[in-house]
Amino acid sequence: MNPKKVIFLDRDGTINRESADYIKSWEEFEFLPGSLEALARLTRKGYTLILITNQSAVGRGFVAQQTLDHTHSHMRAAVAEAGGRIEGVFFCPHRPDENCACRKPKPGLVRQACERYGIDPADSIMIGDSARDILCGRNAGCGMTILVRTGNGLEAEKALADQNAHPDVVTGDLLQAVAIIDDPFYLRKYFR
């Protein structure tokens, strides 16, 4: 693993379709168009991909942790079959009212991943579709944040503007984010 080429990724709304009723099983999981290709391209370019996701459906009793683990196992297998690799999955099972340290926008999950893999967050990129994702990346000290307009991206863009907490880059989807990451201008701008 190259600790200087790390991308933290949100799950629902970034890689797969968001659901107001939560993704409660692998059967409900649907990759967004282009996301498998994007993950494969990032993997081929030598990036380490780490999933950072709030999964309060566990804490709310809608999904058993074993079922969530099963979903993530199948997701990782599908990504691998497409030529990508998700190195690690870090999730927060808590409800928002539990005020834990790991629920995004708090940086706990990113910090756990950095500790486990020896990552300097300043050398990483956070990609997500919500204000929580971008704020998590900022709170963790990620070198770059990218908001994708899939999932909750349009609402997040407005919410972040209201907080004067703009992402570094806004793109239509994960595949367009890969094109930005490929652009040497952006890499020089955010990673010295």
| Cis peptide upstream of residue 96 (ω within 30 degrees of 0) | no
Domains in the chain with CATH codes: 6-190 (3.40.50.1000)
Residue burial 39-61, b: 16+ Cβ < 10 Å; e: rest? bbbbbeeebbbbbbbbbbbbbee
Q: pLDDT for 118-172, tens place per residue?
A: 999 999 999 999 999 999 999 999 999 999 999 887 889 989 999 999 999 999 9
Residue 186: per-residue pLDDT: 67
Active site residues: 10, 12
Alpha carbon distance 136, 125 (integer Å): 11
Residue 1: per-residue pLDDT: 60
Residue 189: per-residue pLDDT: 66
Which residue ranges in the chain fall short of pLDDT 50?
Answer: none
Q: Global pTM?
A: 0.94
